[in-house]
């Protein structure tokens, strides 16, 4: 009789470290590089201990030049390696935008398929840590605009553990946005947890009255809001997009066809946002399924403030999600 191993209790940070370690063990072509990933163990301690285990050839500290080490990652990927490049925060990734947009995203197309770019770029994103505007923005929606790359937003311990290897096996460059507030998230992880798909959204909570669409750091706030709605006998379905490019609208529209109401929660700014794209696609493809206007809960259109009370006021919170949901349900019955 086979025994089933018990789940292990871990954190999002440790799950990501497990994923890195497994990738390094599985394939000698895998290496990690970035600012402070080696001796310091990573700005968010994700790579702590990996330098001692795998050595300097595979855990590489880089100069403070995002354009240089992202470009080096692209070159390594073109030559058969499987690089994982860590950019400390998504704000700093703008210093490597030429490499990401004009090179990584285009080379497979421009070479007629002769080159693949199996590059994974990891970066922290999101506000809530009092690190001010240069370290706290959410640019996932910007990168989701770019053809030729995939954009992932792991929001659970399972996805933090399982998405990396799948991303490394993809012939296109993949960007993983890790909301920094999630690193201390604790939960259970199956002892045999393996790779996770990177092309589909998932229903995190079933419901019949309202669809709440979100991703990344806003997922857990959205689930809390759904629990608060349940106390008022409102059944909310929560969709975790997980992947922002390609965008799985099939799962979103299937939920809308059941609930007929939608709120989109997006930590990006509202103007030109991912939430705007989802809203537009709903209007194009499922307008007559709507029984009420779509609501959006986004960050206030200011640089993220340093002061804690202002920072908290600037980004989506459980209360603002709850208020938008109640407006959608109660004002349009």
Q: Is 145 a catalytic residue?
A: no
Please state whether beta strands 120-125 and 174-179 pair in parallel, antiparallel, or not at all (unpaired). parallel
Exactly one of 66, 158, 237, 311 is catalytic; which is it? 66
- Apex 122 CA angle, 116 and 123, nearest 5: 140
Q: Is 295 a catalytic residue?
A: no
Exactly one of 135, 137, 220, 260 is catalytic; which is it? 135
- Please tell me the distance from the alpha carbon of residue 131 to that of residue 181, in angstroms, as a whole number: 12
- Smallest CA-to-CA distance from 300 within 269, 263, 265 is with 269
Alpha helices by DSSP H, 94-192 = 97, 107-110, 140-143, 157-168
DSSP for residue 323: H
- Please tell me the distance from the alpha carbon of residue 327 to that of residue 58, in angstroms, as a whole number: 52
Number of Cβ within a 10 Å radius of residue 149: 22
Q: Where are the beta strands (DSSP E) in 186-282?
A: 186-189, 202-205, 210-214, 236-240, 243-245, 262-269
Q: Which residues are catalytic?
A: 66, 135
């Amino acid at each position: 009789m086979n025994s089933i191993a018990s789940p292990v209790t871990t954190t999002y940070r440790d799950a990501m470290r497990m994923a890195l370690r497994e990738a390094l063990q599985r394939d000698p072509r895998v290496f990690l590089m970035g600012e402070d990933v080696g001796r310091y163990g990573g700005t968010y301690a994700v790579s702590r201990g990996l330098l001692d285990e795998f050595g300097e050839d595979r855990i590489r500290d880089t100069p403070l030049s995002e354009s240089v080490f992202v470009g080096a990652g692209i070159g390594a990927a073109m030559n058969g390696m499987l690089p994982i490049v860590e950019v400390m925060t998504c704000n700093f990734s703008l210093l490597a935008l030429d490499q990401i947009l004009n090179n990584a995203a285009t080379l497979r197309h421009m070479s007629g398929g002769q080159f693949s770019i199996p590059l994974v770029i990891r970066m922290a994103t999101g506000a809530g840590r009092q690190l001010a505007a240069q370290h706290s923005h959410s640019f996932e929606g910007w990168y989701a605009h770019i053809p030729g790359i995939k954009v992932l937003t792991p929001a659970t311990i399972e996805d933090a553990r399982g998405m990396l290897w799948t991303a490394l096996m993809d012939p296109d460059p993949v960007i993983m946005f890790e909301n920094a507030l999630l690193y201390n998230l604790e939960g259970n992880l199956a002892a045999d947890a393996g790779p996770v798909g990177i092309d589909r959204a998932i229903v995190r909570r079933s419901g019949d009255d309202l669809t709440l669409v979100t991703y990344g750091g806003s997922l857990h706030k959205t689930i809390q809001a759904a629990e608060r709605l349940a106390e008022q006998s409102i059944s909310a379905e929560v969709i975790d997009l997980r992947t922002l490019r390609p965008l799985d609208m099939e799962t979103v529209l299937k939920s809308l066809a059941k609930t007929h109401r939608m709120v989109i929660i997006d930590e990006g700014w509202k103007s030109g946002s991912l939430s705007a794209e989802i809203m537009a696609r709903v209007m194009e493809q499922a307008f007559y399924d709507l029984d009420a206007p779509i609501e959006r809960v986004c960050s206030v259109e200011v640089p993220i403030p340093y002061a804690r009370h202002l920072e908290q006021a600037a980004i989506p919170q459980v209360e603002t999600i709850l208020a938008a949901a109640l407006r959608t349900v109660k004002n349009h019955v």
